[in-house]
Amino acid sequence: MAPSMFTVAVLLLLGVTRAEPDTRPVVQDVGPLGQCFNLPKLDLLSKQLAPSGATIAKSFPGKCVKTWTGKSQSTRDTIHFMNIRQVYNFLNTNVKIDAELAGTFTFKTSLDAVTNSMTATNQSIEGTVLRVSDHSMSKTLSKDCLNEVDFKDEFLNDFKKLPNEIPHPEDSQSWKDYSHFIKTYGTHIVTGITYGASIYSYAFSRSGSAHTREDFKIKACLSFLGPEALKYLKGNINASVCAGTTSKDIEKASRFHMNDKVVVRGGTAETRAKLLHKRDPSLVEKFLKEGRETPTPVQYSFTSIWNLLSGKFYGTEYQAKVRNLEQFFKGFLAFGCKQMGIYDVVTTKFALAPYASKGNPMYQCLLLEPGCNKDSDCSYQAFEGCKCDGKTCFGNMLERRADGTIRKIAYNYKGYEWMTQAPGCEYKYRSFKCKCLKKPGWSVIWMSNGLKDEPEDNEELSGSGEDDEDVDSH
């Protein structure tokens, strides 16, 4: 039995595949195609997405559902992540949302699920995923149908009740109706599902842990093989897996301080449950065969609700609501432009752009520019002149975040020694006092041009061209 375990493990991890079946895969679990979810609340890396989303559309006709049933696509590889940004980009290759949303706000729940919340301290991480999968089918909703969605009456009525104008966009209370709308219906609709069977083995550690790429790969391999295989390998010094890994490497990897997680998706529920506890080669091969013959969902792609609404309400009185919804999510929530201040002075706020109109509301995230805000915070320094060293003296600086993004933020000058480090004040000879040179203005750190003025041209997603069964969202 031992040689068999070793041989099949090598085949799986080095990319050797089995012959493809001639029969078309049979899908019994269609999944949540056409349903809506609040994307930031989802675990898109470690859990199967249950068909429990909100239903905003009536059933999609069969002609709208395009099915691909070509040759099964097999994957046997490892991918290394140098930082959190690379993990988010990897996830978004399947999810397919706007690139600006592929960040911490949207994907943190997913990342925490496979890293055991290692990013809670805002530190960056490094890791590897080992992928063993067979994908045999996909279903997508065509773009021409998405531009003309037949929405449910209840959804449309709730959308039309949303306010056109936001009196105080910097205040979260002004967005309460839009916030409730998102909680009720979500932010994105599932417009594509890939079916098959997959086992992903993750290994992560904090950046700077001195582990090599090979260390992460070994850890991911051992996690994939499971505790029984690890016990076997430790006792057989001639055995090796994962392209030349030695027993010495295996012994070393058992002492690594890493978080590891194995994610099993697709196949049948019965086999999935067994693989969570034991991944012997025969069971893995059975599972992958299920992915080719009786597949279930393994990956999901999404389209935003505001893109769907734009197709229906372009050029109407409701277009302003569509733009409000999009920019509330992208700017206020995802970018994080909630009103912030230092010592009772507002330093960051969400505001209407100067060129905005009632029919075309456009928003910006504004940051208070460097300088002095109160004369009382100016002081005179002998031989140096005036210095802004009080509570309302602010500067701007670039801050690098754990997910790789760089954000300009405001900070307090207080504590800086020299005038050149704390500008903003000047000497007024008439009053013989130091006073603010000028009141700081605002700089734009986020803005959105809103949705396209016109819906995208009708374009069907790639598929076999076969009409499928109706997708009923009831």
Say how far apart CA 124 and CA 94 lie, in whole Å.
23
Give CA–CA dist 403/103, Å, rounded.
7
Nearest partner of 12 among 218, 274, 225, judged by Cα: 225
pLDDT at 9: 44
What is the CB neighbour count within 10 angstroms for residue 379? 17
CB 187 within 8 A of CB 304: yes
What values do phi and psi take at 8, rounded to 5? -65, -35
For 60-108, write each residue's pLDDT tens digit: 888 899 998 877 888 888 999 999 999 999 999 999 999 999 999 999 9
Contact 69, 24 (CB under 8 A): yes
Burial of 381 (C-beta count, 10 Å sphere; 0-12/13-18/19+): middle
- DSSP H helices in 150-212: 153-160, 176-185
pTM for this entry? 0.85
Distances (CA, A) of 2 to 6, 10, 126, 132, 285: 6, 13, 33, 21, 16
In the chain, domain spans: 35-306, 337-447
pLDDT tens-digit map of 245-284: 667 777 787 788 899 999 999 999 999 999 988 888 889 9
**354: DSSP letter:** T
pLDDT of res. 94: 93
Is-contact 65 33, C-beta < 8 A?
yes
The pLDDT tens digits for 351-374 are 999 999 999 999 999 999 998 999
- Does an H or E element contain 380, and which? strand 378-381
Rounded CA-CA distance 289/135 in Å is: 10
